[in-house]
């Protein structure tokens, strides 16, 4: 894929972009996900993704007869995966086949990142009469455990910048090199590509201002004020949090504008802003709900638009199911952006009479260590903020409202402790980076223990401020 991009960017873009109206294949082009364990073990050369996990599972007896990679097209929203590829139907049959092949032994599922949201959608789809029609005992009868690794259960803030201007931390940190990147892959091209992928929109922050904060304060301001808090029972002085917000501002304002007349925006106003920038995004918006249900058990929530949202779709009534949330902490993640006007030039092209990216990052603003190059940071795994990684696992799924079957839910956090890049460019055995955590030795050990059903050796371990954040959010 990288080789094709370098050789012919225009051709690569045409094949990677999706139809803006349907969210699926453009006319005359068909691109599908690779299949089998080889689909995601190594990306390029020795760059592992699932490779280390697969190799270690092989050490305890797993092979291609009882280990399956449910690869999917990560550009699509979950319901489009079923509509175009029959993905959930195939996954349902694969799980049933795996259980029968193992003599009735129930199946363990492991997901990473966006796959967590895809699988959560599947949990509702498979039992629903509007989906897989498996009935309300299907999960209880077929699934033993579910390991969620670095899952953005409540969305991820960097989707906002991707849809607004095709930018993120990685491009902001390039500095002058960003112009070099623009030669190969312009702001307009990156923006149009991101806006064609419905999966990006499906990872938008969920829960509105109640979860992500207002213009005055945010529940996870405590994580921004003390991103390296350690100790399960540690607390943050409310006075220090207040002083932090007064100096650096609140994380609730996810988009700030400078040198422009546009008002600052919270998560609650982001979708409206994006709709003004690109009306096509309103189509994706209609396919997805990001609210908070008063009672997710009501029949009205038995629709695909709610199934990816854990605040509108409860865990299945499967009392024997075990859910493990494994994620990294201690590596600052994007929590907000500073934007300014994008000067008209040949790159800022027009589509249907509108500029593709009228606003771009203003990277001149620094207020270290919390604001760098116009980007605001909070505790997380370098990609997903802590509040999304842990709130449902540590709090929401501990309630009858969102966990009516009293599923056993446990959190294990891994503190980011990388080695020098001189020794290991991926961070080493104690990295907790969003992707590189897949090679974290402690996490791999814990996955193996879950696979061996040694659950008593996988206790809860919380070292972040997630419980304080949950307390500030309150009862959902």
132-162 tens-digit pLDDT: 999 999 999 999 999 999 999 999 999 999 9
pLDDT value at residue 170: 61
Cα Rg, the chain, nearest whole Å: 22
pLDDT value at residue 259: 79
pLDDT value at residue 175: 47
Most confident of 14-23, 160-169, 307-316: 307-316
Residues of the chain above pLDDT 90, percent: 78
CB 101 within 8 A of CB 68: no
Q: What residue spans in the chain does CATH classification 3.40.50.1820 cover? A: 19-154+294-329+385-473
CATH of 19-154+294-329+385-473, one of 3.20.20.70, 3.20.20.150, 3.40.50.1820, 3.90.550.10: 3.40.50.1820
In this prediction, residues 102-111 reach a mean pLDDT of 98
Cis before 302? omega within 30: no
Least confident piece of the model among 67-71, 228-232, 316-320, 455-459: 228-232
- Give the model's confidence band at 178: pLDDT under 50 very low, under 70 low, under 90 confident, else very high: very low
In this prediction, residues 350-363 reach a mean pLDDT of 84
Helix-helix angle 78-85:114-127, to 10 degrees: 70
* Closest alpha carbon to 201 in 127, 305, 85: 305
424-440 tens-digit pLDDT: 999 999 999 999 999 99
pLDDT value at residue 10: 83
Q: What is the mean pLDDT of the chain?
A: 91
In this prediction, residues 367-375 reach a mean pLDDT of 85
Catalytic residues: 113, 381, 434
pLDDT value at residue 247: 76
Interatomic CA distance for residues 230 and 237, integer angstroms: 14
């Amino acid at each position: 894929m990288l080789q094709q991009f370098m050789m012919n960017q225009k051709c690569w873009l045409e094949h990677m972009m999706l139809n803006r109206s349907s969210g699926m294949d453009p006319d005359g082009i068909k691109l599908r996900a690779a299949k089998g364990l080889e689909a995601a073990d190594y990306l390029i050369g020795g760059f592992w993704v699932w490779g280390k996990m697969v190799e270690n599972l092989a050490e305890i007896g797993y092979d291609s007869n009882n280990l399956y990679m449910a690869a999917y097209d990560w550009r699509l929203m979950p319901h489009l995966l079923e509509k175009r590829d029959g993905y959930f139907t195939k996954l349902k049959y694969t799980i049933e086949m795996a259980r029968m092949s193992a003599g009735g032994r129930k199946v363990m599922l492991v997901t990473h990142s966006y796959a967590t949201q895809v699988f959560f959608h599947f949990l509702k789809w498979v039992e629903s009469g509007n989906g897989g029609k498996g009935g309300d005992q299907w999960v209880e009868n077929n699934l033993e455990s579910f390991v969620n690794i670095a899952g953005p259960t409540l969305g991820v803030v960097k989707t906002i910048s991707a849809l607004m201007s095709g930018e993120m931390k990685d491009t902001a940190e390039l500095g002058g090199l960003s112009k070099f990147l623009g030669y190969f892959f312009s702001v307009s091209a990156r923006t149009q590509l991101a806006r064609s992928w419905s999966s990006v929109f499906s990872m938008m922050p969920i829960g509105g201002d109640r979860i992500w904060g207002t213009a005055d304060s945010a529940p996870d301001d405590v994580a921004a004020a003390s991103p390296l808090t350690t100790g399960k029972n540690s607390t943050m002085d409310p006075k220090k949090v207040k002083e932090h917000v007064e100096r650096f501002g609140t994380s609730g304002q996810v988009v700030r504008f400078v040198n422009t007349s546009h008002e600052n925006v919270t998560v609650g106003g982001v979708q409206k802003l994006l709709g003004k920038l690109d009306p096509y995004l309103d189509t994706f918006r209609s396919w997805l709900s990001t609210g908070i249900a008063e009672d997710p058990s009501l029949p009205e929530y038995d629709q695909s638009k709610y199934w990816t949202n854990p605040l509108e779709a409860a865990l299945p009534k499967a009392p024997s199911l075990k859910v493990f949330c494994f994620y990294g902490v201690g590596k600052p993640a994007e929590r907000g952006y500073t934007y300014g006007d994008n000067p008209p030039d040949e790159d800022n092209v027009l589509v249907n009479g509108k500029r593709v990216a009228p606003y771009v990052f203003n990277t001149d603003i620094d207020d270290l260590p919390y604001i760098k190059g116009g980007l605001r940071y909070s505790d997380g795994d370098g990609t997903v903020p802590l509040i999304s990684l842990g709130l449902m696992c540590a709090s929401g799924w501990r309630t009858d409202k969102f966990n009516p079957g009293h599923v056993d839910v446990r959190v294990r956090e891994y503190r980011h402790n990388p080695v020098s890049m001189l020794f290991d460019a991926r961070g080493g055995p104690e990295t907790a980076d969003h992707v590189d955590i897949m090679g974290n030795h402690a996490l791999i050990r814990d996955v193996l223990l879950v696979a061996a059903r040694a659950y008593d050796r996988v206790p809860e371990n919380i070292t972040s401020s997630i419980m304080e954040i949950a307390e500030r959010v309150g009862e959902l």
